[in-house]
Each structure stands twice: as C-alpha cells, then as structure tokens.
C-alpha cells in the first residue's frame, strides 16, 4: 500500500518584513515635502498584530496608507492579509486607522477551501482543517500538485502559502 503524501496550506505575514517595511515607510514620510511639519506616524504592535496610522487629515491618511502598502509590496508581504479599519477621529484634530494583520487562515476561508477541493472532485484528495491551517493529503503526488494548481487559481480572500510537503 502506498503512503499518503500531504502538504499544509497556511496564511500569514512575516513580522520581520512588516517591521522593515514600516521603518522604510517612516523614513520616506520623514523626507517627503508634503508631510513636513505634520503629525504623521506609523506604529507596529507585534503583540496585537496591528499597524496604527496617524495623520492630520483624511488626505494625508490615504497618502500614508499608499506609502505603507508600496513598501509592504516591495518587501513581499501579502497585502491580502491586512484588514484596514475605518478612519476615526483621534486627539488633537488627527485621524487614526488601525490595520489588522491576519495570521493563519480564518475558519470561514478554511471551510471554503475544503468545500472548494471537494467540489473539484479531485481523486482521493482529502482536506482537513487543523487549527489555523488546512492539511491536504492524497496517495498520488500528482493529485496534490493539481490541488495546489487549482487553489492558486481561486481567490479565497487571504494569501495562501503551501508548505510542509511530505511525500
């Protein structure tokens, strides 16, 4: 009997790369002419997995968000795993926006992935939710490669990473 091969589907952001992108964005904001004398700030909270943006008004908030997104993309951080909150009023006539960083696959997306693989009717491919990841297993390595291919073609709302391949 053949042994089952498997791989894990995970989702997350590398916090060190996020920290590097935040530091680069801070340097750019400090050098830009349109931010001279303004109260623009970008703060990363590693414990809460959030980034807090603070700016003088909505226009500067949007510019700050664009700078941060550009730096994150250049560093290879998936922006799909970021959930920007609403722009809210803060102290001293400033505005604040909290961006949540998604670590792990949310349960709704995990159920959608399992249902998607079952609907594809791939031969002998089993998917199981394990905490914040999904394990996909099959006897055939070719079927697993086909599963990865069809998962990459579909958008589940989070950036998927495929790893821990055991064959």
* Number of domains within the chain: 2
Based on the fold, state whether residues 21 and 96 are members of the same structural domain. Answer: yes
Tens-place pLDDT, residues 94-130: 899 999 998 888 888 889 988 888 888 877 888 888 8
CATH number of the domain where residue 74 is located: 3.30.70.990
Residues 21 and 75 in one domain: yes
pLDDT, mean of each 10-residue run, the chain (167 residues): 79 91 93 89 92 91 93 91 89 90 89 88 84 88 88 88 82
Instruction: Examine the domain organization and report whether 124 and 77 are in the same domain.
Output: no
Pair (145, 159) in one structural domain: yes
Domain boundary among 101, 116, 142: 101
User: End of a domain among 58, 83, 101?
Assistant: 101
Residues 23 and 76 in one domain: yes
Q: Is the domain of 132 the same as that of 91? A: no
If asked whether residues 97 and 116 sit together in one domain, one would say no
Whether 29 and 78 share a structural domain: yes
What pLDDT is stored for residue 2 in this prediction? 58
If asked whether residues 81 and 120 sit together in one domain, one would say no
Whichever domain contains 129, its CATH number is: 3.30.70.860
pLDDT of residue 74: 94
Verify that 86 and 109 share a domain, yes or no: no
HEC string of the chain equals CCCCEEEEEECCCCHHHHHHHHHHHHHHHHHCHHHCCCCCEEEEECCCCEEEEEECCHHHHHHHHHHHHHHHHHCCCCHHHEEECCCEEECCCEEEEEEEECCCCCHHHHHHHHHHHHHHCCCCCEEEEECCEEEEEECCHHHHHHHHHHHHHCCCCCCCEEEEEEC
Q: Which domain holds residue 31?
A: 15-101
Last residue of a domain, one of 83, 101, 119: 101
């Amino acid at each position: 009997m053949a042994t089952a091969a498997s791989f894990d589907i995970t989702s997350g952001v590398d916090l060190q790369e996020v920290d590097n992108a935040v530091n680069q964005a801070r340097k750019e904001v400090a050098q830009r002419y349109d931010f001279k004398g303004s109260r623009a700030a970008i703060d990363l909270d590693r414990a809460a997995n959030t980034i807090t943006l603070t700016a003088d008004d909505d226009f500067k908030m949007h510019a700050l968000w664009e700078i941060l997104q550009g730096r994150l993309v250049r560093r290879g951080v998936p922006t799909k795993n970021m959930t920007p909150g609403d722009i809210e009023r803060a102290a001293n006539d400033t505005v604040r926006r909290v961006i949540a960083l998604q670590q792990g696959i949310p349960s709704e997306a995990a159920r959608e992935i399992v249902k998607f693989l079952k609907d594809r009717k791939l031969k002998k491919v089993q998917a199981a939710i394990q905490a914040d990841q999904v394990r996909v297993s099959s006897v055939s390595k070719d079927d697993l490669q086909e599963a990865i291919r069809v998962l990459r073609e579909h958008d589940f709302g989070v950036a998927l990473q495929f790893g821990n391949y055991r064959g």
